[in-house]
Structure 1
Amino acid sequence: MTVSRREMITGLGALTASFAAAAPRGPEPPAARGPATPLPGVPAGRAPDRTAGDERFWGDVARRYRVSPDFVNLENGYYGIMPEPVRLAYHRNVDLLNEQNSHLLRTDYKERADRIRRRVAALLGVSAEEIALTRGGTEALQNLIGGYNRLRPGDAVMYADLDYHSARYAMNWLRDRRGVTVERLAIPEPATRRAVLDAYAAALRDHPRVRLLLLSHMNNRTGLVTPVREIVEMARARGADVIVDAAHSWGQLDFTLGDLGSDFTVFSLHKWMGAPLGTGFLHIRRERLADIDLAFADETYPAGDIRSRVHSGTLDAAAVLSVDAALDFHDALGAAAKQARLRFLRDRWVHRVRDIPGMEILTPEDPAMYGAITAFRFAGRTSEAENVAITDDLYNRYRIFTVRRGGPVRGDCVRVTPALFTSRDDVDLLATALHDLARRRRP
């Protein structure tokens, strides 16, 4: 028998109310303007941890999202949906682009896109000269990996089992492109801070020819947050450069680029910043720009301009112009409050299920090593089919949407990813469902 969301938890309000949007920042043609409404803001003087469990406040935030009432969405790692101010700004910008056509692209667009680039850079604590907009984190990773020109035949590159699959494919491509060998390491389970650092230290020691390391700040499989700065310093001491994948962490965790200490870093804007799909950027420290080749011998920008390292063709200008509205929404809440809320939601369901016999939680209890994303598995159920069956059960019986992930050293798992519109009731429902699944699966 399928148990509906309403039957499992009463009083769960629908999260479908939409709010009018604030207009994108800066002077714009009248067609791009819309009615303004206050964005949600953390009460002045209140610490983020005190706000994290305030359901009235976060219910108000949730009403800024237009989500389906037909299921509980706990699979928000693929794409972070736009809050209503951003969605409406995007629609206005689509209309504006369609009305003005190439006139917009050849006039106002370039300055507005560059202003967004400067704003992104300021939020990260770097110069705009070190930022280039891309169509997402994947394009940024491919441009940095493919363009890295310090590799020589006989060198080695390295990545971990939990790194993003598209980035691993690009690293494998270097075998033929640059004549290098490809080394792999497994992130240990349980993944404590010490165990992760020791694993990277051993891998770099055992493979002294490694010159390029791919490193996920937060991986998309288990949500583990790695101690990036320490690993970057460790690699640098052994003559290896590091490309850091921060696509999932920016907007989910509270940090600046200085906290990572990386020279080459990639970011997504359409995950935890809530910008439209097809937006992201890469960072190259100014002194290291020459170590990344121009994208396909690009001549649009001078060789000393980081934008010459990206050539995306005619991209979705409306999506780029809507990044301003996404940054407005992010700034209104603040990174610290978002991080605290997402960790609160993660802790709430994890702490209610970790006593289930055979339950394995794949992120440690160290708050520095997780955010919203956390994966679990039932002991002994490590195959793809077994974990797909769990996600199917969660959806068909309880209308909870999750996703199976592969890659961890001990087998497949199920990834759970709440979002800012997720309620306490939603994660409580997950905990109830997992207890029920465990009871029904016992021999």
Structure 2
Amino acid sequence: MVISRRQMVAGLGGLAATLAPRASASALPPIAPPVVPAGVAPGLLARDEGFWRTVAQQYRVSPDFVNLENGYYGIMPEPVRQAYHRNVDYLNEQNSYLLRTTYKARADQVRQRIATVLGVLAEEIALTRGGTEALQNLIAGYRRLRPGDAVMYTDLDYHSMQYSMNWLRGRRGVSVERMAVPEPATRQASLDAYAKALRDHPRVRLLLLSHMNNRTGLVLPVREIVEMARERNVDVIVDAAHSWGQLDFTMGDLDADFAGFSLHKWMGAPLGSGFLYIRKGRLADIDLAYADETYPAGDIRSRVQSGTLDVAPVLTVDTALDFHDTLGAEVKQARLRFLRDRWVHQVRDLPNVEILTPEEPAMYGTITAFRIAGRVSEADNVALTTQLFERYRIFTVRRGGPVKGDCVRVTPALFTSQADVDLLAVAVRDLARRFRR
């Protein structure tokens, strides 16, 4: 029997009382921003469902399903959404006058704001239309490769970045090496795997490294891997599209020379916003974008050429960072890890359920994937996501790429309630029984 989300939550007794109310698609009245109570440890605040209900009220979320697929992009909180609409109207009204007068100064203010939060210099930041464009520009523009060199990525790296690394084969005359991140993943096993791969492939000169991958949510010890790569004269481009805004870190914690970031994922900025980072002193190692002469070669903005772009997302980044600062990275990280732990710890005893992130806190955030033992094909996992939605009204997504087979990715968000992830745990237990081989 197919049951509605409301019926299922009601059947869970006391869980229904903790379910955060969902905002309808109608206009919401002004809501006071959440105030983080002074002196409360982030770990304790993460469990305060009353506080997180006030945070959830900042979001317009469909009442028709439980959205646990927030890895694609992040819903804008209301202050950001409203600012974005104002900026769209402002851009449409001012037109070329805005673009030719005040926009560049405002974009530079956004760069400075990003740099401050990330702990870098504004001159090390160039705005892009997202993490994909940022990383493509870094990969395609990396100019230290010579014919006969090699580049490397893993099975868990983002598919578009894998394609860009493959493209270097014809672009730079290099070979492309692919390694597998071990399952089960641990910090030491990951470090050992990278050390072995770099040792076994001494011609590698460029490594793509996902801080948090989009398939399983595994967080790698970037700083240590960057260090071992440097010892072998290997440069690293870090994909931080999923980690920034979800985890509490600055660029100094990664110690990488090149990185790409998204602003429309965990920072909650509008779609079409991101940036790339190039450490001061390394700019010459990335080509000008299409030999563009809009900016001088010594300006990082010469490494991006997006044409006439929609500047409304850029103009809204300040508001998104304001909302991020209202909560703080440490508080966000604690809540998102708490939501992950709450459902995972209710199903990890099941012998046929495999959780693809380890229990080491430094190695996960909120993104976590699971699979049912033996159900490793694309069809198997599409069937699982279909059952989750049709029986429980829970929206998730199937992911491929992990070395031992496909999986289902689960991604709670700041508006997700304890009851939402408790419902997921009930659903996973049910599906583990139904899909047992």
TM-score, normalised via structure 2 length: 0.96
Contact 2:20 2:417 in 1 (8 A): no
Q: What is the aligned counterpart of 2:23 among 16, 21, 32?
A: 16
Q: Which residue of 2 aligns with 1:149?
A: 143
SS of residue in 1 equivalent to 2:314: helix
Deviations 1:181-215 (A, max 9, x none): 00010000010000000000000000000000000
What do residues 341-382 of structure 1 show as CA deviations (whole Å, max 9, x unaligned)?
000000000000111121100000000000000000011110
Matches within 5 A, 1:14-413: 14-16=21-23, 38-413=32-407
Letter in 1 for 2:68: L
Q: Find the aligned partners of 1:14 and 1:38 in 2 and give their Cα distance.
A: 16
Deviation at 1:20, TM superposition (A): 5.9
How far did residue 416 of structure 1 move?
0.2
Report the identity percentage.
Answer: 77
- TM superposition shift of 1:440: 2.5
The answer for the alignment partner of 2:13 in structure 1 is none
Distance 1:39 1:139 in 2: 32
Please, what is the CA RMSD of the aligned residues? 1.1
Distance in 2 (CA, whole Å) between partners of 1:4 and 1:81 is 24
Alignment correspondent of 2:409: 415
Give 1:83's aligned amino acid. P
Q: Name the CA distance, whole Å, in 2 between partners of 1:46 and 1:127.
A: 32
Alignment partners' CA distance in 2, 1:436 and 1:187: 29
The answer as to whether partners of 2:169 and 2:175 remain within 8 angstroms in 1 is yes
**Amino acid paired to 2:23:** T
2:4 counterpart of 1:4: yes
User: Which residue, 400, 421, 429 being the options, matches 1:427?
Assistant: 421
Q: CA deviation at 1:38?
A: 4.1
CA distance in 1 between partners of 2:378 and 2:418 (Å): 29
Tell me, in whole angstroms, the C-alpha distance in 1 between the residues paired with 2:210 and 2:288.
Answer: 24
Rounded Cα–Cα distance in structure 2 between residues aligned with 1:331 and 1:401: 29
2-structure distance, mates of 1:417, 1:432 = 16
Residues 19 and 49 (structure 1 numbering): CA distance in 2 closer, same or farther, change over 3 Å?
farther
Contact 2:198 2:204 in 1 (8 A): yes
8 Å CA contact retained: 2:352, 2:436: no
Q: CA deviation at 1:15?
A: 2.0
Amino acid of the residue matched to residue 144 of structure 2?
R
Please report how far the alpha carbon of residue 19 of structure 1 lies from its aligned counterpart in structure 2 after TM superposition.
Answer: 5.5
Letter in 2 for 1:3: I
1:223 deviates by 0.1
Q: Are the equivalent residues in 1 in contact too, given 2:372–2:435 (CA < 8 A)?
A: no
Query: 2:351, 2:362 → 1: CA distance?
Result: 26
Q: Deviations 1:213-254 (Å, cap 9, x if unpaired)?
A: 000000000000000000000000001000000000000000
1:3 CA drift (Å): 1.2
Distance 1:38 1:361 in 2: 38
Deviation at 1:441, TM superposition (A): 2.9
Please say if residues 15 and 421 of structure 1, whose CA atoms lie closer than 8 Å, have aligned partners that are also in contact.
Answer: no
Conserved? CA contact 2:20–2:56, under 8 Å: no
Quote the offset at 1:41 in angstroms: 2.7
- How far the C-alpha of 1:13 sits from its partner, in A, is 4.0
TM-score by length of 1: 0.95
Q: Look up the SS of the partner of 1:342 in the other structure.
A: helix
Asked if the contact 1:358–1:379 (Cα under 8 Å) also holds between the matched residues in 2, the reply is yes
The AA in structure 2 aligned to 1:111 is: A
How many aligned residue pairs are there? 428
On the 8 A contact 1:20/1:84 being kept in 2, the answer is: no
| C-alpha separation in 2, matches of 1:362 and 1:38 | 38
Distance 2:148 2:20 in 1: 60
Task: Please give the secondary structure, in 1, of the residue aligned with 2:412.
Answer: coil
TM-fit CA distance, 1:110: 1.2
Paired residue secondary structure (2:143): coil
CA deviation digits over 1:8-34, x for unaligned, max 9? 11333432166667xxxxxxxxxxxxx
Do 1:19 and 1:63's aligned partners in 2 also have CA atoms closer than 8 Å? no
Aligned AA (1:184) = R
Q: Distance in 1 between matches of 2:338 and 2:137?
A: 36
